[in-house]
Amino acid sequence: MSTVTPVKADETLWAALKQGGKVVLMRHAQVDRSKGNGTRHTPDDCSKEFNLSPAGRAQAKKVGELFRKHGIAIGDVLASPYCRTMDTAKLAFGKAKASEALRLIEALPPAQAEQITAQAMKLIGEYRGKGNLVLVTHEPNIIALAFETVETGGMFVLIPKGADQFDVLGRLTVHRD
């Protein structure tokens, strides 16, 4: 990766996203850790999970505003079935479909976590849409896929290369106000 200023790097990434066909691998926005459990997921009952904090909700909305400001076309928006990821996706992009390929791997047995990671890699590598595919997931999943992390609400821009292959083009960080 070249050594450019963060502003220039962001401009380059926004320009790449404007072309379409990329995958945005996003970590959910900031959560309130005072209530709920980080690894538990109970369908239709968000009270048992970590949920977005007010700052996290604002952060997710800011992500959507930035994508709209830059005129970025969004294709499908897939998210882990956890409430914090689904809420991040809906607040940022106005839509979300739950995907088991993005489920929190930290909460799974190792063999199942490896399967989930392989599914996510295939989903990224095989993407061929005109718009950009958005995947909203969790920090452990992002580390397993990109070999590094991003802050809450941050994202990697990926270039699909076929099969389970992709390149990391760069990282976008959305600073909290």
Q: What is the mean pLDDT of residues 59-63?
A: 96
Q: What is the pLDDT of residues 80-113, one digit of tens each?
A: 999 999 999 999 999 999 999 999 999 899 999 9
| Degrees to nearest 5, angle at CA 173 with 176 and 75 | 110
pTM of the model: 0.92
Residue in the structure block whose two tokens are 């897939």:
78
* pLDDT for residue 3 is more than 60: no
Residue 177 reports pLDDT greater than 60:
no
Q: Where are the domains of the chain?
A: 6-32+49-172
Which band of pLDDT confidence, cut at 50, 70 and 90, is reported for residue 171?
A: very high
Residue with tokens 């990434």: 13
CA angle (132, 28, 21) in 5-degree steps = 10
User: CB count, 10 Å around CB of 112?
Assistant: 12
Local confidence band at 7 (pLDDT 50, 70, 90 cut-offs): very low
Q: What is the pLDDT of residue 176?
A: 56
We find that the CATH architecture of domain 6-32+49-172 is: 3-Layer(aba) Sandwich (3.40)
Q: Where are the alpha helices (DSSP H) in 20-82?
A: 54-69
